[in-house]
Amino acid sequence: MNKDYYNILGVNKSASKDEIKKAFYKLAHKYHPDKKEGNESKFKEVNEAYQVLSDEGKRAKYDQFGSGFENAQGFGGGQGGFGGFDGAGFGGFQGANVDFDFGNLNDIFSDFFSAGGGPASGWGGNKARRGRDISTEIQISFSDSIFGISRKILITKTSNCLTCHGSSAKAGSGMVTCKTCNGQGQIRESKRTIFGNIANTKICEACLGAGEVPKEACETCRGKGVMRREEEVDISIPAGIRDGEMIRMSGYGEAVSKGTAGDLYIKINVAPHPVFKRDGHDIVMNLNLKLSDALLGTKYPIETLDGHIEVTIPEGVGINEVLRVKGKGVPMGAKNKRGDLLIKLNIKLPSKISRKSRELIAELKKEGI
């Protein structure tokens, strides 16, 4: 069955990498199994779509062959699977004493083309075991989002056993050949189909494809190789990260016996700052000025994220005029380049005017000011 990865992520076929990434982050957060209304099946589907569409090479092959692109070029002259097959070629079975369910075509061809193919084969081949992806979220300060920071978090998840390090064997006991599969890691079985008896292989459930089992099981994890425990994870948060962005840490998800660990997704929540706001790669702030400072100009001290600076207010600045301080904004990644600090000037008019001030303003009025 061909999967529409664009539809799964809710994007157009012309979507950019950033659009695909944003769509994935949004859906991964929505469907994550740890959420109250999460959906593990949907989460895996979204993750699968992102893994293909985020890779230019895989995306190009997917656009040409569909979701079976990794195997499609081996059949039908590279035209994506079975070409124009629609079941019409089986018309000769009409009237024969054969039970034929077109709804099971995928399973039938899966068995047929995986015969003898082993774990690495295309259709019907055994996929490597992989642990579950997990997610969490942390909050950082506005300043840390601009300059980046390293954080340590504690996560309770299924991880490799600390005693046997995932081998599932008792210390010093070693491993022995699996008797169920005779060390092959897979079991060959025969299935009867309309094409006759077809041989197929599957991973041995006793050794999970390893071909060996522990002579004596680890007492800590009872031979499972994994156990649920608390683990400390070091997270490196890059400079310039935005509120709501997610960091993916490959292999830091849940472990699975005789397989690879899933991934860890960390959503970053940036706490609002009382003075500064972000606008792209620029940082914006408001500065209240007295009317006299706006008219005559002055120097004004400001505490930025980088420390103390002094800003020159020119004479006669207008209401809502913006001053730009270069290089005090968000890091842009290339050659330590940064955005700017934008200072929006707000001129505070006095609510009450003294007699002397009134007289001075009257003089200014006479001069046309």
Q: Does 164 count as an annotated binding residue?
A: yes
C-alpha to C-alpha distance for 362 and 353, rounded to whole angstroms: 12
- List Cβ<8 Å contacts ≥24 apart for 199-204: 199/115, 199/116, 200/111, 200/114, 200/115, 200/124, 201/114, 201/116, 201/117, 201/118, 201/119, 201/126, 202/126, 203/119, 203/126, 203/129, 204/178, 204/180
Q: Is 258 annotated as a binding residue?
A: no
The reply to whether 340 sits in an annotated binding site is no
Q: Is 305 known as a binding-site position?
A: no
CA dihedral for 165, 260, 265, 234, sign (positive or negative):
positive
Tell whether residue 181 is among the known ligand binding residues. Answer: yes
Contact 175, 215 (CB under 8 A): yes
211 is in an annotated binding site: no
State yes or no: 243 annotated in a binding site: no
207 annotated as a binding-site residue = yes
| 123 CB-near residues (< 8 Å, 6+ apart) | 71, 109, 110, 112, 113, 114, 117
- CB-based contact 60:68 (threshold 8 Å): no
**Which residues are part of a known binding site?**
161, 164, 178, 181, 204, 207, 218, 221
**Which residues are part of a known binding site for Zn(2+)?**
161, 164, 178, 181, 204, 207, 218, 221
